[in-house]
Structure 1
Amino acid sequence: MAYSSVAIILVNWNTYDFSKSCLNQLKSISYPNHKIFLVDNGSTDRSGQKLREEFPEVTFHQNQTNLGFTGGNNVGIKMAQQELFDYILLLNNDTYFDSLFLDPLVNYLDRNQGVGAVQPLIFEKEDSSKIWHAGGVIHKFKGKVESITQALSSEKPYETDWLTGCAFMVRRKLVDEIGPLKTTYFAYFEDVDWSLRIRENGAMLYIIPASVLYHEVSGSTKAKKKHREGFLSPINHYLNIRNQLLLLKSHPNQFVGISAWPFQTFKIIAYLSYFVIRFRFKKLRAGYHGLLDGIRHDPSSRKLPDIRAYL
């Protein structure tokens, strides 16, 4: 029996424990025809080098700087394209799964040529009964995207508006047509943008409930202890605000601009006002520049945002 080939791409950035755990789990998956690509995103804690030594069977690439979620994954995507894999799976390293999670994803794509990409049903690691992402909804009038966090009654695969980059499995030939992730997003909303580009190319997106995965929410971005500025780093707010606006600019036909832009602008101003009230001035500065850069930046540009001031 011939098995479709799957390239599994992981990105590591100063997250040795997560990456090691994920790689160890991948050793036991049942699906036979796969290859793992590990991209170290300019880690400063030697985690990339340690992982390279401990997992010699994994195809490793070292980036000299942090290229973000988009740039790091695009390195792996390019390698997978060069080797002509059938499918490409972007997999967050802070995920947990059993040995059978990959098989339902491959089987569904094999049998449904009109489907361009699929995703497991994703639960929260901290509370395994709580759904983190059961698909995504796009609100055209508000310019808003949100995750479905309640299980649907059917256990059968179902169509969705967008997939999360946490575990995003796509046909390689489709990536050849639409291109990889847009580099300039760096992180956040790049998965929604990719999802919309897939749909605009005529393919569908599906959730496969038979495949289950657990995600440690914000495992690589959320502080363990609350500081004066809160748990999340100012960079999260900069990128979220900026990239929300880049998404509206990238897909004007997917949103009702006359209502979406005012709604998002009001929401951003509300966030900035909250930061003022809470004396979170680093986040205020990051959010303000996110608003400006979201208006000024070109979503098609390959230029990375300068995030050093917000780290």
Structure 2
Amino acid sequence: MNISVLATCFNRREITLNGLAALRRAAAGIDYHVYLVDDGSTDGTGDAVRRDFPEATVIQGDGSLYWNGGMLKAWRTAVQTGARYYMLFNDDLELEPESITRLFSFQKSMEAAHGPKVISIGKVLDAETDTITYGGYRVAPGLSRLRFLRAPDDGAPCDTMNGNCVLVPAIAVDDVGLLSDRYRHHTGDIDYGLRARDAGYKLFQSREPVGRTPYNHAAHAKLARLTWQNRKFMLRDPKGLPVGEWLHFCRRHGGPLWPLNFASRYLKIALPAR
């Protein structure tokens, strides 16, 4: 098997089915298998995938995994069967035909130029504006190690990535490991990219887009809305900014200034609500 595709889903049956159908077209000619965690869906997603996609193994979750936990569970299952590559994949990504075939070719060309320690990040665009919504990041200029900017299309390595569509060679499991179990929803993909970079991997964003997904403005707005009602969500909900997870991330990747990175986020939450 060339590629084990890792994905997770929850109660968006049609989106998941459409995403897997697009994946089938995007990976034309590639030997791949999907490991999909159905994290407690009640809309029949798992059964529909089992019926329509024989190339997929559905793994049952209990609704407590969220994105990072579901992706980690999929990866732990896939690693037992062996593959040359693993691909992180979001089921809401509208993949272009043969885009994964092109991404795989891009990976091989980067390996030929830079050696086997290469991770390829699929560039994702907004359907209306053609601007990059998800892909690679560079550390922003300045003292902080935890400020990131979207990577430009200049061909230079990235520092980290979004996990919407990422091709990871199997050797990285030994060098970097899997997604961290310290995160439930956010941050696991950013953490993995930074760990891979620190382990000597070069992360490259694909020259061509793999597909289209609008930026999740609703989630960003909810995290930015600092009302009293929203503080509990921010501090405790897996989709907010749980204290333990942010502390771990800052200490792991923030360098000497990590306490400032950690405190600045929660200082904003502590300010009086407007």
Shorter-chain TM-score: which interval?
0.7 to 0.9
Alignment match, 1:186: 184
Q: CA deviation at 1:65?
A: 3.6
Deviations 1:186-244 (A, max 9, x none): 121111211122122222111111243212333996899xx9968xx6433334x6533
Give distance in 2, aligned partners of 1:219 and 1:267. Answer: 19
Instruction: Give the direction of change, closer, same or farther, for the CA distance of 1:211–1:197 in structure 2 (3 Å limit).
Output: same
2:100 touches 2:210 (CA, 8 Å); kept in 1?
no
Within the alignment, does 1:21 sit opposite 2:8 as a pair?
A: no
Within the alignment, does 1:158 sit opposite 2:160 as a pair?
A: no
Within the alignment, does 1:238 sit opposite 2:241 as a pair?
A: yes
TM-score (norm 2): 0.81
Q: Which one of 62, 65, 72 corresponds to residue 64 of structure 1?
A: 62
Give distance in 1, aligned partners of 2:103 and 2:210. Answer: 10
Give distance in 2, aligned partners of 1:42 and 1:183. Answer: 19
Deviations 1:148-202 (A, max 9, x none): 17x43x4xx4310001111121011211332211112112111121112212222
Q: Which runs of 5+ in 2 are unaligned?
A: none
Q: Report the identity percentage.
A: 19
Give distance in 1, aligned partners of 2:219 and 2:14. Answer: 14
Q: Which one of 199, 210, 233 corresponds to residue 212 of structure 1?
A: 210
Alignment match, 2:83: 85
Q: CA deviation at 1:79?
A: 2.9
Alignment match, 1:75: 73
Q: CA deviation at 1:143?
A: 4.0
Q: Which runs of 5+ in 1 are unaligned?
A: 279-311
Alignment match, 1:284: none
Question: What residue identity is the alignment partner of 1:78?
Answer: R
Q: CA deviation at 1:47?
A: 2.6
Instruction: Give the direction of change, closer, same or farther, for the CA distance of 1:40–1:221 in structure 2 (3 Å limit).
Output: farther
Instruction: Give the direction of change, closer, same or farther, for the CA distance of 1:219–1:22 in structure 2 (3 Å limit).
Output: farther
1:142 touches 1:264 (CA, 8 Å); kept in 2?
no
Question: What residue identity is the alignment partner of 2:247?
Answer: L
Alignment match, 2:170: 172
1:134 touches 1:147 (CA, 8 Å); kept in 2?
no
Q: Secondary structure at the match of 1:277?
A: coil
2:182 touches 2:248 (CA, 8 Å); kept in 1?
no
Instruction: Give the direction of change, closer, same or farther, for the CA distance of 1:222–1:244 in structure 2 (3 Å limit).
Output: closer
Q: CA deviation at 1:76?
A: 1.9
Alignment match, 1:137: 138
TM-score (norm 1): 0.73
Give distance in 2, aligned partners of 1:36 and 1:205. Answer: 23
Give distance in 1, aligned partners of 2:184 and 2:199. Answer: 23
RMSD: 2.9
Give distance in 2, aligned partners of 1:145 and 1:26. Answer: 32
Deviates more, 1:210-219 or 1:82-91: 210-219
2:134 touches 2:164 (CA, 8 Å); kept in 1?
no
Alignment match, 1:277: 273
Q: Secondary structure at the match of 1:198?
A: helix
Question: What residue identity is the alignment partner of 1:45?
Answer: D
2:49 touches 2:56 (CA, 8 Å); kept in 1?
no
Give distance in 2, aligned partners of 1:33 and 1:54. Answer: 18
Deviates more, 1:46-55 or 1:186-195: 46-55
Give distance in 2, aligned partners of 1:116 and 1:110. Answer: 9
Give distance in 2, aligned partners of 1:260 and 1:64. Answer: 34
2:134 touches 2:215 (CA, 8 Å); kept in 1?
no
Give distance in 2, aligned partners of 1:114 and 1:214. Answer: 28
Alignment match, 1:116: 118
Alignment match, 1:300: none
